[in-house]
Amino acid sequence: MSALTTTAAPSDRAAAPARGLLRGTSWVVWRRNRTVLLLLIGVTVLFAGYSVYLHGMLADFLASPQAAAKPGQLLPHHEERMGTAFFLLAFLPAILGVFLGAPLLAAEQEHNTLRLITTQSVARLRVVMTMLALPLLVVAVTTALMSVAFTWVWRSVDTRFSHGNWWTSDVIATTGPVPVALALFSTAFGILAGAVLRRSVAAMGVTFLVLVLGAQTLKDRAPEYFVTFHQLTYPLGGDAPELKSGEIQVDNWVGSADGTLHGWGKCVLMTEAESDACVKKHGIVNDVIDYVKLDQLPGIQWSMTAVLLAMTAAMLVATVFWMRRKSL
């Protein structure tokens, strides 16, 4: 007598693959850009570790007799290692714009990937929105973590690094919320350039040129539009009062008794007699200094961030509009 044996079929739950966080279009976007995104995540982890190392090194210095012997200063190797971190954060937005933003849509249009995806019953708008959202989310989170870590380091020596000169160094653009806004702005600009030009190399070239020139302008000119300068007045030709820690001289003028300001060189490039006559003619009696205080830094940074994020939003809207109107 033979015995009947049955083999139980595996359950549907056991046979189904485990679902990850990313599915469908999100998974496609991640897979297509995973090299750059994973590299960015790795850099963030390394930078956070470097920041912890820097903070510990600076804390040891501040607790040592050397710090008391060098008020308002750091040792040369501290400046050098801080400078390395400043360099990375200063150029990271341009790197993201060129290598992540510019090819994001341009490469997909070159290889007809977008056209293929939209033939799979997926709306074009959903595809474009997903392609924008995932990379920008990674950029926002990673740059925020790096900025928080380095701001923590810089704040421990804010009146010592670069002799306390936070105005003309890279401090404004590399601490607080500005690095996040700059990274999003740069990536969004690269995305828009790629969408319009439809060629990766061309979009990368245009993005690089615009962002490098823009970064220099931002560093040199932009902060003064977001701050009201304090003024210090003293008698013409007298000794200038010493500014306090964290206060940075931005400009200097000569002033008349009625409060009118003239450029510092108004009566300088002349003979002594001509200079004296010029001073009397314009009624110049004071030297005037424009300066900023360290406690104005957060206001400058948040104002710049608001403008950058508004411009970023406008570029993203323009990108979506362009991609919906143009054929793939």
Whether 1 is covered by a domain: the verdict is no
Residues 44-49: what's their mean pLDDT? 97
How far apart CA 147 and CA 132 sit, in angstroms, is 22
Q: Of the candidates 217, 214, 191, which has an alpha carbon nearest to the alpha carbon of residue 204?
A: 191
User: Residue 135: pLDDT above 90?
Assistant: yes
Judgement on whether residues 161 and 38 belong to the same structural domain of the protein: yes
Q: In what order do the strands lie in the sheet with 248-256?
A: 230-235, 284-292, 248-256, 261-263
Judgement on whether residues 142 and 200 belong to the same structural domain of the protein: yes
> Do β-strands 261-263 and 248-256 pair in parallel, antiparallel, or remain unpaired?
antiparallel
Residues in CB range of 42: below 8 A, 6 or more apart: none
The pair of structure tokens assigned to 88 is: 């990375």
Judgement on whether residues 92 and 174 belong to the same structural domain of the protein: yes
User: Residue 169: pLDDT above 80?
Assistant: no
User: Residue 292: pLDDT above 80?
Assistant: yes
Judgement on whether residues 200 and 288 belong to the same structural domain of the protein: no
Q: How many CA atoms lie within 13 A of 47 on its CB side?
A: 26
Other Cβ atoms within 10 Å of 88 Cβ, number: 17
Judgement on whether residues 178 and 235 belong to the same structural domain of the protein: no
Judgement on whether residues 278 and 304 belong to the same structural domain of the protein: no
CA 167 → CA 63, 223, 224, 235, 257, distances in Å?
26, 8, 10, 26, 30
Judgement on whether residues 265 and 288 belong to the same structural domain of the protein: yes
What pLDDT, on the 0 to 100 scale, is given for residue 109? Answer: 82
Judgement on whether residues 221 and 235 belong to the same structural domain of the protein: no
Judgement on whether residues 113 and 175 belong to the same structural domain of the protein: yes
User: Residue 96: pLDDT above 80?
Assistant: yes
CB-based contact 106:200 (threshold 8 Å): yes
Note the pTM of the prediction, 2 decimals.
0.85
Lowest mean pLDDT, pick from 22-31, 49-58, 154-163: 22-31
| pLDDT tens digits along 198-220 | 899 999 999 999 998 888 777 77
Q: What is the per-residue burial (b if ≥16 Cβ within 10 Å, else e) of 159-186?
A: bbbbebebbebbbbbbbbbbbbbbbbbb
Q: What is the percent of the chain where pLDDT is above 90? A: 59
More confident: 62 or 32: 62
Whether 115 is covered by a domain: the verdict is yes
Residues 127-139: what's their mean pLDDT? 91
Whether 307 is covered by a domain: the verdict is yes
What pLDDT, on the 0 to 100 scale, is given for residue 266? Answer: 84
Judgement on whether residues 151 and 235 belong to the same structural domain of the protein: no
Whether 4 is covered by a domain: the verdict is no
Where in the sequence is the domain holding 128, given as residue range(s)?
Answer: 25-226+296-325
How far apart CA 317 and CA 225 sit, in angstroms, is 26
What pLDDT, on the 0 to 100 scale, is given for residue 15? Answer: 37
